[in-house]
Amino acid sequence: MTSTLTISNLTKDFGGVKALSEVSMHVAPGERVALLGHNGAGKSTMMKVILGLVAADSGEISVCGAAPGDADARSKVAYLPENAMFHSALTGLEQISYYMRLRGEDSVGAMALLDKVGLGAAAKRRIGTYSKGMRQRVGLAQALIGHPRLLVLDEPTSGLDPVSRRDFYELLDALAAEGAAILLSSHALTEVEARTDRLLILSRGRMVAEGSLAELRRDAALPVAMHITAINGYDADILAAIPNAIRVNDAVHVTCSQDEKLATLAQVAAMKGKIADIEVIPPSLEDIYSHFSRRDGQ
Amino acid sequence: MIARILATAIIELHIARRNLWVVIAVGLMVVFSLVLSAVGSAPIGELGADRLSVTVASLTSLSVYLVPLVALLMSFDAVAGEAERGTLPLLLTYPVARWEVLAGKLLAHCAILIIALVAGYGAAAAIAIVNDPAALSGIGALWRLTWTSSLLGATFLGIGYALSSLARRTSGAAGLAIGLWLGSVVLYDLALLAAVVADNGGSFTKNVFPAALLANPADAFRLFNLTASQAGGVAAGIGGAAGTIPQWQSLMSILLWPVFALWLASAAFRKVEP
C-alpha cells in the first residue's frame, strides 16, 4: 500500500542552526504514528514542513501524492496546532462553520461536530470565554472536518482532562479505521504507548529511533527489573542465590539484561517456597525514550 | 472560490461587529460630516453653487483625511493580528488561497466603509436638501464622491494589508499605518507646495508637480472630485493649484490604485512564513 506521507532526507536550517537533518519517514493509511522528542527537537518544524507552512531546504516530501502546501495536499490534510488559537470575538459555532465552508463542506453540520467534541452547550458562546481545554476541543473539531486523509496533530491532548483524552483517542481510532493516516506529537509517553502503532524519536533534528514499542524495546536492550518479596527471613537466601540481587527496604531488587531474563526467572522460580511475590518490570517508554535521546549526546 | 471569499467576508463582518468597528466607522463619518456641513454652509451665495455641491466640496476635503485613516485602522491588524494571535498558521493549512483570504477581508471592510460613507454623506446631504430643496441638483456630485471615496478606501485597505504583512506584528503595523497616513495625506502635500513655491513657476511646477499629484491616491481623489464638481473654488491649496490636470488622468489614478494596492497586498502576504 502506498504511504499517505513520505519524507526522505529532509533538511531544514534556521540561520545556520540545523532544525532537521536528513530525516526520512513515512506514514501509511490507517496508521497512527507518534512523534516524540524534547522541546526543540524539531517536531513542530517537521510538522510545518509537512503542512507547507515552512519550506524545506532539501529532501523529498510527498503528502497524499502532492507537494506539501499544494492546494490538493491542503484539501486532504487536517492540522491541529499546539495551543490552538482562535479569534476571541467569535463563537465556537461561527468559527467551525467558517472552517467548514473553507473546506467546501455544508456548515449545517457544525453543531453536530461541536457536539462530538463535547462543546455543544458552549457552541454559541464566544471563544474568548473558553478554557484552554475547550479551545483545544475547538481545534480538534476543526481537524475532524470532512474526511482528512492525513491528520497532523501537534500535542493534541495538552490541556485535556483524562476523560477527554480517552474520548479523543477514540475519535482518532475511528478515523484511522476509516483509513486516515495520523501523525501526532506528544510528551505524554504512556498515552501514546497504548494508542499508536509506531513511534518515531527525534533528537536535535535527527531521527534517532523508529519502530513499534516492542522493536524499540528490543533495540534499546535496556535491563529488566524484578522486585522480589521474600517470605519472612528468607531474603538472605535469595540474596545469596542470585548474584546481582540487592536489598532495597524490605524487598530484593534484581536487574538483568533482556537475554538473561528467562534464566533469572528460572532461578527465582526454583526458590518458590521462599518467595511471597514477584513483579517483573520491563523498561518503561520513558526509559527507552531517554535511552535513544541521550545516545545522541543529550 | 467565491464561497471561500464570502465565508471569509462573513467571519470578518462578525469580528468587526463585535469589535465595534462598524459603530466606530459610522460614528466617525456621521459626526465629522455633520460638523462640516454646519460649518460649510456659510460660504453660499458668494459662489452661486447649490448647497449640496458646496457640502460635497467640504466632504471631499474631509474624506481625503478620514477615509484613508479609517481604512488603515481597519486593515493594519488583518495579517499581523492573525500572526500574533497564532491563528494564521492554521488558516494557511486550509485549502484557501492567500489572495482569497485578502479578498474576503477586503469585501467585509469595504462593506463597512461603504455603510459609514453612506451614513455620513447621507446625513450631510439630508441637511443640505432640507434647508434648500434646490440642492437636489448636486446629487450627481454626491454620488461621484461616494464611489470615489469607496475606491480611495479600497486603496488604503490594500495598502494596510500590505503593511500588515510586512510588519508581522500589530504594533509595528500600527506604526507603519500611522506613518503612511501622515506621509501620504499631510506631509506629501506640504512638501509639494513647498517645492512649487521654491520652484516659482519653473519646470518642476509644469512637469513634475501634476505627475506627483496623480501618483498619490489621496490627491488624485481630491483633484477628481473638485474638478468635476466645479466647486473647486471653495477648496484651498492643492485642489486649486492643479486645475490644469485633465479629469481622465485623475480618474485613471483613482481606478488603478485599488488594483495596484491589492496586488501589493497579495505579494506581501505571499511572502509571510508563519
Please list the residues that pair with A206 across neighbouring strands.
A203
**b/e burial code for range A208-239 (CB count within 10 A of at least 16 → b):** bbbeebeebbeebebbbebebebeeebbeebb
Q: What is the mean pLDDT of residues A158-184?
A: 89
State the pLDDT at residue B101.
Answer: 95
Examine the domain organization and report whether A128 and A201 are in the same domain: yes
CB contact under 8 Å between A89 and B15, yes or no, is yes
DSSP per residue over A134-190, as a string? Answer: HHHHHHHHHHTSS--SEEEEESTTTT--HHHHHHHHHHHHHHHHTT-EEEEE-S-HH
Examine the domain organization and report whether A127 and A268 are in the same domain: no
The set of residues, in sequence order, having a beta carbon less than 8 Å from that of A95 and lying 6+ positions away, is A86, A87, A127, A138, A142, B11
A102-158 pLDDT, tens digit per residue, is 999 998 999 999 998 889 999 999 999 999 889 999 999 999 998 899 999 998 888
Q: What is the mean pLDDT of residues A23-50?
A: 89
Facing residue for A90 by CB, picked from B11, B90, B97: B11
State the pLDDT at residue A162.
Answer: 86
State the pLDDT at residue B151.
Answer: 96
Instruction: Report the amino acid identity of residue A202.
Output: L
Residue A11 to residue A190: CA distance in whole angstroms: 30
Examine the domain organization and report whether A38 and A87 are in the same domain: yes
Residue A50 to residue A6: CA distance in whole angstroms: 9
Taking the Cβ of residue A148 and every Cβ of chain B, the question of whether any pair is shorter than 8 Å is answered with no
Q: Are A39 and A206 in contact (CB under 8 A)?
A: no
> What is the phi-psi region of residue B98: left when phi exceeds 0, alpha when psi lies from -120 to 50, beta otherwise?
alpha
Q: Are strands A224-230 and A251-256 parallel, antiparallel or unpaired?
A: antiparallel
Given a cut of 60, whether residue A75 has pLDDT beyond it is yes
Q: Which residue is listed with cell 488558516?
A: B91
Q: Which residue of A has its CA nearest to B98?
A: A71
**b/e burial code for range A160-188 (CB count within 10 A of at least 16 → b):** beeebbebbbeebeebbeeebbbbbbbee
Tell me phi and psi for residue A18, to 5 degrees.
-75, 110
Q: Are B72 and B230 in contact (CB under 8 A)?
A: no
Examine the domain organization and report whether A253 and A132 are in the same domain: no
Residues in chain B: 274
Q: Which residue of B has its CA nearest to A88?
A: B15
Given a cut of 60, whether residue B170 has pLDDT beyond it is yes
Q: What is the mean pLDDT of residues B145-152?
A: 95
Q: Which residue of A has its CA nearest to B86?
A: A85
B14, B94, B170: best to mutate for the A interface, most A CBs within 10 A: B94
DSSP per residue over B41-98, as a string? Answer: TTTTTTS---HHHHHHHHHHHHHHHHHHHHHHHHHTTTTHHHHHHT-HHHHHTSS--H
The set of residues, in sequence order, having a beta carbon less than 8 Å from that of B258 and lying 6+ positions away, is B151, B154, B155, B158
Examine the domain organization and report whether A11 and A132 are in the same domain: yes
State the pLDDT at residue A251.
Answer: 84
Q: Which residue is listed with cell 501526532?
A: A184
The domain tally of chain A equals: 2
The domain tally of chain B equals: 1
Tell me whether residue B59 is exposed, middle or buried, using C-beta atoms within 10 angstroms of its C-beta: 0 to 12, 13 to 18, 19 or more.
Answer: buried
State the pLDDT at residue B41.
Answer: 58
Q: Which residues of A touch B4 (CB under 8 A)?
A: 101-102
Q: What is the mean pLDDT of residues A43-48?
A: 90
The DSSP letter of residue A57 is S
State the pLDDT at residue B131.
Answer: 82
B80-118 pLDDT, tens digit per residue, is 999 999 899 999 999 999 999 999 999 999 999 999 999
Q: Give B140 or B244, the one with higher predicted confidence.
A: B140
User: Does any domain span residue A261?
Assistant: yes
Residue A220 to residue B31: CA distance in whole angstroms: 75
The set of residues, in sequence order, having a beta carbon less than 8 Å from that of B2 and lying 6+ positions away, is none
State the distance between the two ends of chain B, measured CA to CA, in whole angstroms: 23
Which range is most confident: A179-188, A239-248, B151-160?
A: B151-160
Examine the domain organization and report whether A126 and A237 are in the same domain: no
Q: Which residues of B touch A71 (CB under 8 A)?
A: 95, 97
State the pLDDT at residue B47.
Answer: 54
State the pLDDT at residue B232.
Answer: 47
Residue B209 to residue B244: CA distance in whole angstroms: 11
Given a cut of 60, whether residue B231 has pLDDT beyond it is no
Residue A244 to residue A254: CA distance in whole angstroms: 6
Instruction: Report the amino acid identity of residue A94.
Output: E
Q: Which residues of B touch A54 (CB under 8 A)?
A: 273
Instruction: Report the amino acid identity of residue A211.
Output: G
**b/e burial code for range A262-274 (CB count within 10 A of at least 16 → b):** eebbebbeebeeb
The parent domain of residue A31 ranges over 5-218
Other Cβ atoms within 10 Å of B48 Cβ, number: 7
State the pLDDT at residue B230.
Answer: 59
CB contact under 8 Å between B4 and A102, yes or no, is yes
CB contact under 8 Å between A53 and B273, yes or no, is yes
Q: Which residues of A touch B85 (CB under 8 A)?
A: 85, 87
B41-89 pLDDT, tens digit per residue, is 555 545 556 778 888 888 888 899 999 999 999 999 999 999 999 899 9
Interface confidence (ipTM) of the complex: 0.85
Given a cut of 80, whether residue B164 has pLDDT beyond it is yes
Examine the domain organization and report whether A202 and A238 are in the same domain: no
Distance of residue B266 Cα from the nearest chain A Cα, in angstroms: 16
CB contact under 8 Å between A101 and B4, yes or no, is yes
Q: Are B239 and B232 in contact (CB under 8 A)?
A: yes
State the pLDDT at residue A41.
Answer: 84
**b/e burial code for range B111-149 (CB count within 10 A of at least 16 → b):** bbbbebbbbbbebbbebbbeebeebeebeebbebbbebb
> What is the phi-psi region of residue B66: left when phi exceeds 0, alpha when psi lies from -120 to 50, beta otherwise?
alpha
Examine the domain organization and report whether A227 and A166 are in the same domain: no
* Among B residues 50-89, those touching chain A with beta carbons less than 8 Å apart: 85-87, 89
Given a cut of 90, whether residue A293 has pLDDT beyond it is no
- B197 pLDDT band, cuts 50/70/90, is confident
Residue A44 to residue A57: CA distance in whole angstroms: 16
Given a cut of 50, whether residue A298 has pLDDT beyond it is no
State the pLDDT at residue B242.
Answer: 54
The parent domain of residue B80 ranges over 2-270
pTM of the model: 0.85
Q: What is the mean pLDDT of residues A211-233?
A: 85
State the pLDDT at residue B177.
Answer: 94
Given a cut of 50, whether residue B203 has pLDDT beyond it is yes
Other Cβ atoms within 10 Å of B18 Cβ, number: 17
The DSSP letter of residue A53 is S
Backbone Cα Rg of chain A: 24
The mean pLDDT value of chain B amounts to 87
State the pLDDT at residue B241.
Answer: 54
Q: Which residue of A has its CA nearest to B3?
A: A101
Distance of residue A66 Cα from the nearest chain B Cα, in angstroms: 13
Closest Cα to residue B241, out of B218, B267, B209?
B209
Examine the domain organization and report whether A179 and A114 are in the same domain: yes
Examine the domain organization and report whether A27 and A111 are in the same domain: yes
CATH number at residue A166: 3.40.50.300
Q: Which helix (H) or strand (E) holds A34?
A: strand A32-36
Q: Are strands A206-211 and A224-230 parallel, antiparallel or unpaired?
A: unpaired
Taking the Cβ of residue A234 and every Cβ of chain B, the question of whether any pair is shorter than 8 Å is answered with no
Taking the Cβ of residue B7 and every Cβ of chain A, the question of whether any pair is shorter than 8 Å is answered with yes
A187-199 pLDDT, tens digit per residue, is 777 778 788 899 9
Q: What is the mean pLDDT of residues A179-191?
A: 86
- Percent of chain B scored above 90 by pLDDT? 54
Cell numbers placing A109 = 453540520
State the pLDDT at residue B192.
Answer: 87
